[in-house]
Structure 1
Amino acid sequence: MSVLEMIRNSLLASLGAAVVTKEKVEEATRRWVDEGKISRDEAERLAQDLVESGRHQLEDIQEKISETVRKGLDNFDIGSKKEFKELQARVEDLEKQLAMREEASGKEQE
């Protein structure tokens, strides 16, 4: 499994947990309203507060996952995509230069 797949799966699991939490919050607040423990307005505010708090926690988790992955990749000394493209361009340039030299060398021998 690639690093990107692991990140994707972690984020999907986090998002899934957030959705389940929202559904459970709504279910619990509905039950409390039905039981007369809180008013509808209180239930709506509570649900919004909890969902917003969950959203912030999810964002924090995503940020921490990204930071951890970045640090992990740094430890493996893996180049960035930009560095890879730069090296790829340099290799292509060198291949062209080599081909031109070989072509020129072949003409001189004739």
Structure 2
Amino acid sequence: MDTNNLLRQLIMIGVGTTSLVAEKLREVTDEWVRNGQLNSDQARRFVDDLMGQLNSEQGKFEEQMQRQLRNAMQDLGVPQQSEMDELRGRLDRLERKLREIENQLWK
């Protein structure tokens, strides 16, 4: 399972949804301005405030998804990248040491 790809797809869904909401929100507020229910400054502030809240919630959602994905991977026993890097380093050191011992035996 490519977790980076999964996370990227989830984020893109969130970004796409936010863009769609922003577009529809602007359409609605433009209609309100045309009907005289709001002036253009009120509409702009309304859109800015709502989009700020949506962006804040999206950031919280992304953090929560990352945390849940990390927990799920840990529960499944999938090693973290740092653990894999550490094991690779240990393996490299052991292979080097083995070559040194082999070279000493052949001399």
Same fold, TM exceeding 0.5? yes
Task: Tell me, in whole angstroms, the C-alpha distance in 1 between the residues paired with 2:90 and 2:2.
Answer: 27
Q: Gapped runs of 5+ residues in structure 1?
A: none
Query: 3-state SS of the aligned residue for 2:105?
Result: helix
Partner residue of 1:57?
57
- Number of aligned residue pairs: give it: 107
What whole-Å deviation, never above 9, does each CA across 1:42-96 have from its counterpart, x for those lacking one? 1111111111111111111111111111111111222222221111111111111
Query: For 1:1-110, what aligned pairs fall within 5 Å after superposition?
Result: 2-107=2-107
Q: Which amino acid aligns with 1:44?
A: R
After superposing on structure 2, the runs of 4+ consecutive aligned residues of structure 1 that deviate more than 6 Å are none
Task: Tell me, in whole angstroms, the C-alpha distance in 2 between the residues paired with 1:27 and 1:4.
Answer: 35
Q: Percent identity?
A: 24
Task: Tell me, in whole angstroms, the C-alpha distance in 2 between the residues paired with 1:14 and 1:54.
Answer: 10
Quick check: 68-77 or 8-17, which moved more? 68-77
Q: Gapped runs of 5+ residues in structure 2?
A: none
Query: 3-state SS of the aligned residue for 1:36?
Result: coil
Q: Give the greater-gyration-radius structure (CA).
A: 1
Task: Tell me, in whole angstroms, the C-alpha distance in 2 between the residues paired with 1:16 and 1:78.
Answer: 30
